[in-house]
Structure 1
Amino acid sequence: MNVLLDIGVLLILGYTAGWMLNKIGLPKIVGYILVGVALSPNTSHLIGQDTIETTKPLMDICLAFIAFEVGGALKWSKIKIHEKEIVNITVLASIIPFILIALTVFIFGVIFPSLLPFGSIGNLSLALLLGVLASPTAPAATLAVIHQYKAKGKVTDTILGVVALDDAVGIILFSIVISILSMFLGDHKMVENAHLNAVYRISMAMFLGAGIALLMNLLSKMLQIKTEGQWIVIITSMLILCLGTSKLLQVDELLANMTLGLMIANRSNQHTKIFKVVERYTEELIFLIFFLLSGLHLDFTTIPQSIFLISIFVGLRIVGKYIGVNIGARAAKADTSIRKYTAGGLLPQAGVVIGLVLSISQNEIFSDISEVLLTTIIGATIINELIGPIITKLTLKKAGEIKNE
């Protein structure tokens, strides 16, 4: 098969599977992911490895659109209403899973040294890195479910706010952990770089997103953008420009595009039209392509290799998210529904966490644990991406924010 034929087959089969699952009350994106997994080179070899490599830019563009929409959902008026809840929940739902997983994995290594034979420092490194990788949430799956079922309400607004911020918190925690481990392992240069990289990646991503938003507003006025077709062209151009510049400057691509969406939503007179165009004409195709390609990247053969660590990671991450949301919401004196249901939208994981674990695997000082770390995270990602959308739908339905299916 050639790449174009591969993509055509994927789109048809994926859309059909999503339609069928929707008929039985499941989120369409689960069907997209399953088709991607079934046709993956890691599973059936029906799709070639070259398709995965060739379509990487397409997947990045889809993620840029998704991040843009997540940022666009963060209107200042909504953020202000739920400001305390969003901040408290974001911090605690990131830190508590980190603590639970890190402690449990380290104790597990002490009790069962034959299963984690990396020595005390190696096991500590593995425990801390697995803990910190539990923090980020993938916005794509959550947003897809919210839009498919047209969920609206305070729980939905809180979930979107937390999802938009916890990647930044995850990057900060990651840089702190890398710095601490580097001091233990003697890489002092990396300690300095980790702090600088975190500040640079986050701050420059926000400046870039705001700058592209300003450029988009200026161009739309200068070029007198009015029709929906014109808006599709200008939106796509600006998102790809933001994505490409992010890669050039080596800043956080997700955060840059979220900031772009946030600034357009709050500073553009045309924001309603812009996001309606995206939702009406591009969203369905973007979700279809993104989750099909995500499925192609997932490798089920990694699960048996680290089943015990995957179980610990997935189970304690869920528990940690629920505890963190509960404590954070109580501290902010949030509504009961926010306390009970927000965590259900914070379970999916994909892009950011995979990027972070790959950066670890490329560093020589973590060579002893990089393989088990990578297989654990990929295995956990498969589970979280499949169960996350289903749990998101169920919790939003219980919260009363999904009216019609």
Structure 2
Amino acid sequence: MPDIELGVLAILGICVAGGVIGAFIFQKLKVPQVVGYIVVGVLIGDTGFGLLHPSDIQALSPFNNFALGLIGFLVGGELSAGIFKKYGKQFTAILIGEGVAAFLLVGIVSTLILYFVCHNWVTALAAGIVFGAIASATDPASTIDVLWEYRSAGVLTTAIIAIVALDDALAMTLYGLGTSIATILVQGSGHSIWATLLHTFVELGGAILLGVICGFVLDYVLSYLPQSEKRLGISIGLLLVCIGLAVAFHMDLILATMAVGIVLINKAPNRSKKLFETVRSFSTPIYIIFFVLVGARLSLDNMPVWVWGLVAAYVAMRSLGKWIGAFWGGRISKAEKPVQNYLGMAIFAQGGVAVGLSIVASNNLQHIEILEGLNLGDMIIFTVTATTLCVQLIGPVFARMAVKKAGEIGCNVTEEDVMAEMIVDDVVDKNIVPLYEGTPLETVVQHFADQDTFVYPVVSNDGKIIGVLTFENLKELLNERDTWQWLLVGDVMQPARHKLLSTMNLAEALKEMGNNQVESLPVIESQASGKLLGVLDIRAARRSVNAELVKRRTVTG
């Protein structure tokens, strides 16, 4: 296909529009939406139609950093101190178990395969160690996106969030150790393992320190900004500063922004909760673009056939390592059964961290030749790119399966979620007996005394709504009791200026009632018929919503 040069705006538009369409299609297939984003990226990248070139993707790398920073910030907002006090030992055991198990299984199998290819133990062992270190990394972005998409909540969801949040630090530590050993193996002495590890720990510690400082600064500024739109603006601005400094000083930007979120949620939980909700709603198009670019980056051209065998072994051993390691870590730490049984399958995804580490490794090992025309650095990038594509497609599916088996899908539902799915007809009180305009007022007074309502709809003889009678109307006549016998409802009622349709969305209906400052409104079947169906009362509606909320949170997914 001939090369097509697109502008940045066109690229972003294709990413968002294509990603939404892809997500819709895959959701219909009961597959997490993030898979749809990635598949669309593959289709429009070099592997597919070639609409996005490596130069375009490189030009948008700052945008990817911004997306990763937002993900880190929101993940940090899920990690309150209470969680670590309660589950700290479990998380540590599981983190070490799944990371080390993936490192060992992938490292051993990769070493054996490469030895049969190149017949050089030193080169094979060096590559195996690098593959094992990269395999320990887990992609937080696609995993967290699945949890948010399916509104999951529970002990398993909490453990998943904590593990993927902390996995970067473990992966970088293993990578620092592994690449040091690999470099010494292939280049001899002159490279210190301890110096490399010290450098890694300085980078990690610097990222945490940067995030903590930015978190305290942001919390201080937010305490003086009551308006939500200004809070969003200053928060995004400070996050961009944090991301930029992390990139400039070669720190882990996810760890840095995660530290910002942890500081906020623990120092000012009530004030920051609304901020996290606002950032999450604002960031949806950014996530879509990020995942589409992830797919577009996965170019798999010109890969030797035997490398696909290595790819298959890598994916199988990494998945097995994550699963077994998480199981034994959970069992040793006496974690809950859902965590023991299902956490491993929820952390298969591998993303930007692994690809980034493979690029760094390739720069150090590209001078080592495995076969004629193929060096170790290129082979590492090829393999990690292909495995990333595979596990990014299957990882979200297994993550959904894990939270579904644990019964945690749909448990993180809010009142807004429930109201968005309900209509007025679901909560309308149809037992309200309407008043006819010719009814004597003396009879009506007894209605108000017997019923727990302050608004009665008034209908004509053919059942159409013509007005409402409120308690406020009657209060004006309390001192004129002698008029009750000859006054009729039609004489004192108010015109029905505001009515609700039974098919109207409940959230919109309650918002309209709040804008009009009314507690109750009549509900009609349709504008054409005008026939009264009942009365919507705000208090009764919220009781119904809360009951549905409790039901959804307790019923298994």
Give the TM-score normalised by structure 1: 0.94
CA drift at 1:263: 1.2
Match of 1:258 in 2: 258
Measured in 1, the distance between the counterparts of 2:67 and 2:390 equals: 22
Asked if residue 234 in structure 1 is aligned to residue 256 in structure 2, the reply is no
Match of 2:139 in 1: 138
Asked if residue 151 in structure 1 is aligned to residue 167 in structure 2, the reply is no
Q: Is the 8 A contact 2:152 2:409 kept in 1?
A: yes
CA drift at 1:303: 5.8
CA drift at 1:168: 0.5
CA drift at 1:228: 2.4
Measured in 1, the distance between the counterparts of 2:155 and 2:75 equals: 15
Match of 2:87 in 1: 82
1:263-322 Cα deviation digits (max 9, x unpaired): 11111242211111112x223222211111111111133666410110111000011111
Match of 1:186 in 2: 188
1:2-401 to structure 2, matched below 5 A, reads 2-110=7-115, 112=116, 116-117=117-118, 119-184=120-185, 185-189=187-191, 191=193, 193-221=195-223, 224-269=224-269, 270-279=271-280, 281-301=281-301, 305=305, 306-364=307-365, 367-368=368-369, 369-401=376-408
Measured in 2, the distance between the counterparts of 1:257 and 1:66 equals: 8
Measured in 1, the distance between the counterparts of 2:53 and 2:102 equals: 37
Q: 1:245 to 1:109 in 2, by over 3 A?
A: closer
Measured in 2, the distance between the counterparts of 1:52 and 1:26 equals: 26
| Of 31-40 and 301-310, the range deviating more from structure 2 | 301-310
CA drift at 1:208: 0.4
Measured in 2, the distance between the counterparts of 1:120 and 1:386 equals: 33
Matched residue of 2:135: which SS?
A: coil
Considering fraction of residues, name the structure with more strand: 2
Measured in 2, the distance between the counterparts of 1:365 and 1:196 equals: 24
Measured in 2, the distance between the counterparts of 1:366 and 1:200 equals: 28
CA drift at 1:91: 0.3
| Of 250-259 and 87-96, the range deviating more from structure 2 | 250-259
Measured in 2, the distance between the counterparts of 1:58 and 1:207 equals: 23
Measured in 1, the distance between the counterparts of 2:283 and 2:247 equals: 23
Q: Is the 8 A contact 1:361 1:367 kept in 2?
A: no
1:193-241 Cα deviation digits (max 9, x unpaired): 41222111111011000000011012223xx322221122112111111
Measured in 1, the distance between the counterparts of 2:324 and 2:226 equals: 47
Measured in 2, the distance between the counterparts of 1:8 and 1:118 equals: 49
Matched residue of 1:347: which SS?
A: coil
CA drift at 1:66: 0.5
Q: Is the 8 A contact 1:29 1:291 kept in 2?
A: yes
Matched residue of 1:141: which SS?
A: helix
Measured in 2, the distance between the counterparts of 1:364 and 1:19 equals: 42
One-letter amino acid of the counterpart of residue 6, structure 1: I
| Of 127-136 and 189-198, the range deviating more from structure 2 | 189-198
One-letter amino acid of the counterpart of residue 248, structure 2: L
CA drift at 1:44: 1.4
Over alpha carbons, which structure has the higher Rg? 2
Matched residue of 1:251: which SS?
A: coil
1:131-153 Cα deviation digits (max 9, x unpaired): 11110101000110000111000
Measured in 2, the distance between the counterparts of 1:249 and 1:47 equals: 29
Q: Is the 8 A contact 2:93 2:330 kept in 1?
A: yes
Which 5+ residue runs of structure 1 have no aligned equivalent?
none
Measured in 2, the distance between the counterparts of 1:231 and 1:289 equals: 24
Measured in 2, the distance between the counterparts of 1:346 and 1:64 equals: 20
One-letter amino acid of the counterpart of residue 217, structure 2: L
Q: 1:372 to 1:48 in 2, by over 3 A?
A: closer
Q: Is the 8 A contact 2:137 2:167 kept in 1?
A: yes
Identity percentage over the alignment?
27
Q: 1:286 to 1:2 in 2, by over 3 A?
A: closer
CA drift at 1:65: 0.2
Matched pairs, number = 398
Measured in 2, the distance between the counterparts of 1:397 and 1:261 equals: 27
Matched residue of 1:362: which SS?
A: helix
CA drift at 1:367: 3.5
Matched residue of 1:80: which SS?
A: helix
Matched residue of 2:341: which SS?
A: helix
Measured in 1, the distance between the counterparts of 2:16 and 2:366 equals: 41
CA drift at 1:75: 1.0
Measured in 2, the distance between the counterparts of 1:315 and 1:304 equals: 19
Which 5+ residue runs of structure 2 have no aligned equivalent?
1-5, 370-375, 411-551
Match of 1:402 in 2: 409
One-letter amino acid of the counterpart of residue 120, structure 2: G
The higher-RCO structure (CA 8 Å, 6+ apart) is 1
